[in-house]
Chain A
């Protein structure tokens, strides 16, 4: 806590941007070194579990069980991989996860931005009530609806199929709210008026005027949605009743479930592989995510 240095964003800059070049650092060089050592220690804590998972994925269970713990890579990654592919339909469940995450992401981007465009830029009867209703929905916890959702899905015959994961997630209140805030400030009314005078229809305005302007907002929402869907666990666990046809997260948890005989080398291999697509998506969108994350809190 005893950190004395303070950065000062230049007054003309918006708060989100990095501090100006002339940022004053009070305190001496030693203090700066201590700061970076502490920060690096935090990074180490953040990253270590990943490192250890990778290490474990290269050892047999017997090696893992030995003392002292293995901290360097072993030579059994290939064996673990083979055992993993024998135990679960890894690529099948990965395909399911990708199918769900990609479909939901595109549906959410389309439906949410379309609705957000309407709420941000148009006036119509019932606008306030409908918007307030949407915000209230935000607060309802998921498990309240879980049982009836399961029943409805069963009646529709969707239980066990990826449809039961994709359809209910295809539009959400958070995305509409987020995109509406974004569109309010990003899309100038002059632009809309001009396009209207040029005879652009509502859909043309949405597609050709609104969407190109809000691409950064869409990127944030898209990556966030993808990650959320990829990591979702509770609902797929309930809705996918056929153990042979599940998403990756559920398949992974099946591996972990065998009492007493868990093959940790194999399980870790699965856990590590399941993280790769996520890390790729995050690496692509990290800048956007990290920059926009705080906005909800400081608005």
Chain B
């Protein structure tokens, strides 16, 4: 600090918080601990204790009112053979795949196009991001009408080109397609903007060099853009896995009006019943809090396993 710089210099890269470290006891830091305490107190009350309690709960039978009854591993044993749970995993994975792959593909195309467009870039970004801002409830209601059998737009289109109508919300596959379409619509723009941020970090010289070497646009995309985008792709994939595998509001609202049993049933044949929907059904419809807790841990495990698989797949591809 002895020599004052003439021009304002950029902040030095700070690795560790420096400042002052008075050699005093732990208590002398009380202000700092007090400042970070709200988060930890809230976490303790509404995070750590609940998670611990849900583990405890999963080894017990409890209807939420009476006394708990120790059940050992029986609920987990039942979970392993619970065909409803397995079918909910299947539903979730199918819906996730139906939504995620088109979404990533479309988002990538959109990002590349946005990156090429010079004019109106901000207007486009605003418009593409809009679907993500809106509430799932409102959107699901709207999509419920888009896919409606009697007056839906999709069926009107099919009719206009002379095809048969499809009872989207009343067939097992139609439900999944409808939910996946909703998710794709809501998340494509969001991911396109994330991809765009990644594209903008790729140095222009690389494209220059590729052009000099006579690489075409497709070659450039697969040899330069895609490999360099791997970290961003990984980020998007992991986030979409974690959120996609926990989808709840979309099917819940979309299928509420067609539900034949409860609000968590997931439509006809339970074909839209995702894992989290099943969790809610067991817990709050059947008042089976103990088994609900076991289901929650099952979901957690599925999400973790799936995230790891995704992670590995994307990393592998880049190694060779």
Beyond A43-B128, A274-B138, A278-B134, whether A124 also contacts B51 by CB under 8 A is: no
Beyond A53-B142, A137-B43, A297-B194, whether A290 also contacts B129 by CB under 8 A is: yes
Indicate whether B126 reaches chain A with its CB closer than 8 angstroms.
yes
**Number of A-B pairs whose CB atoms are under 8 Å?**
325
Q: Give the distance in Å from the alpha carbon of A247 to the alpha carbon of B108 in the complex.
A: 36
- Give 1 or 0 for each of A238-254: 1 = CB within 8 Å of chain B CB: 10000000000100110
Min distance, Cβ A4 to any Cβ of chain B, angstroms:
4
Residues of B near A68 (CB, < 8 A) are: 156, 160
Indicate whether B139 reaches chain A with its CB closer than 8 angstroms.
yes
Asked if residues B197 and A1 are in contact (CB atoms below 8 Å), the reply is no
- Nearest neighbor of A124 in chain B, beta-carbon distance: B29
Residues of A near B7 (CB, < 8 A) are: none
Asked if residues A297 and B14 are in contact (CB atoms below 8 Å), the reply is no
Q: Which of A75-83, A84-92, A110-118 contacts B (4 or more CB under 8 A)?
A: A110-118
Residues of B near A231 (CB, < 8 A) are: 134-137
Asked if residues B54 and A148 are in contact (CB atoms below 8 Å), the reply is yes
**Which residue from B21, B117, B198 sits with its C-beta under 8 Å from A123?**
B21
Indicate whether A65 reaches chain B with its CB closer than 8 angstroms.
yes
- Give 1 or 0 for each of A158-199: 1 = CB within 8 Å of chain B CB: 000000000110111100100000001110111011001000
Min distance, Cβ B37 to any Cβ of chain A, angstroms:
8
Residues of A near B114 (CB, < 8 A) are: 39
Q: Give the distance in Å from the alpha carbon of A23 to the alpha carbon of B207 in the complex.
A: 13
Min distance, Cβ B235 to any Cβ of chain A, angstroms:
4
Asked if residues B146 and A52 are in contact (CB atoms below 8 Å), the reply is yes
Indicate whether B167 reaches chain A with its CB closer than 8 angstroms.
no
Q: Decide if the interface of chain B is mainly helix, strand, loop or mixed.
A: helix
Asked if residues B217 and A2 are in contact (CB atoms below 8 Å), the reply is yes
Min distance, Cβ B45 to any Cβ of chain A, angstroms:
7
Asked if residues B194 and A147 are in contact (CB atoms below 8 Å), the reply is no
Indicate whether A109 reaches chain B with its CB closer than 8 angstroms.
no
- Give 1 or 0 for each of B220-231: 1 = CB within 8 Å of chain A CB: 110000000001
Asked if residues B145 and A39 are in contact (CB atoms below 8 Å), the reply is no
Residues of A near B20 (CB, < 8 A) are: 193, 196
Q: Give the distance in Å from the alpha carbon of A47 to the alpha carbon of B133 in the complex.
A: 12
Within 8 A of B (CB), among A36-50: 36, 38-39, 42-43, 45-47, 49-50
Indicate whether B289 reaches chain A with its CB closer than 8 angstroms.
yes
Asked if residues A1 and B218 are in contact (CB atoms below 8 Å), the reply is yes
Asked if residues A256 and B189 are in contact (CB atoms below 8 Å), the reply is no
Within 8 A of A (CB), among B137-158: 137-146, 150-151, 153, 156
Which of B14, B137, B143, B263 has the most A CB atoms < 10 Å from its CB?
B137
Asked if residues B150 and A65 are in contact (CB atoms below 8 Å), the reply is yes
Indicate whether B113 reaches chain A with its CB closer than 8 angstroms.
yes
Asked if residues A171 and B257 are in contact (CB atoms below 8 Å), the reply is no
Indicate whether B38 reaches chain A with its CB closer than 8 angstroms.
yes
Indicate whether B318 reaches chain A with its CB closer than 8 angstroms.
no
Asked if residues A39 and B124 are in contact (CB atoms below 8 Å), the reply is yes
Q: Give the distance in Å from the alpha carbon of A231 to the alpha carbon of B31 in the complex.
A: 35
Min distance, Cβ B145 to any Cβ of chain A, angstroms:
6
Q: A6-B207, A46-B131 are in contact. List 12 more A-B contacts (CB 8 A).
A: A3-B112, A7-B200, A67-B151, A141-B246, A144-B296, A148-B49, A171-B42, A230-B135, A252-B137, A259-B257, A271-B142, A298-B232
Which A residues are within 8 Å of any B CB, using their own CB? 1-9, 11, 15-16, 18-19, 23, 25, 35-36, 38-39, 42-43, 45-47, 49-50, 52-53, 56, 64-69, 111-112, 114-115, 117-125, 130, 134, 137, 140-149, 151-152, 167-168, 170-173, 176, 184-186, 188-190, 192-193, 196, 202-203, 206, 227, 230-231, 233-234, 238, 249, 252-253, 255-260, 262, 264, 267-268, 271-272, 274-275, 278-279, 282, 286-287, 289-290, 293-298
7 contacts between A and B (CB under 8 A): A15-B201, A123-B19, A148-B51, A227-B133, A253-B252, A256-B141, A286-B129
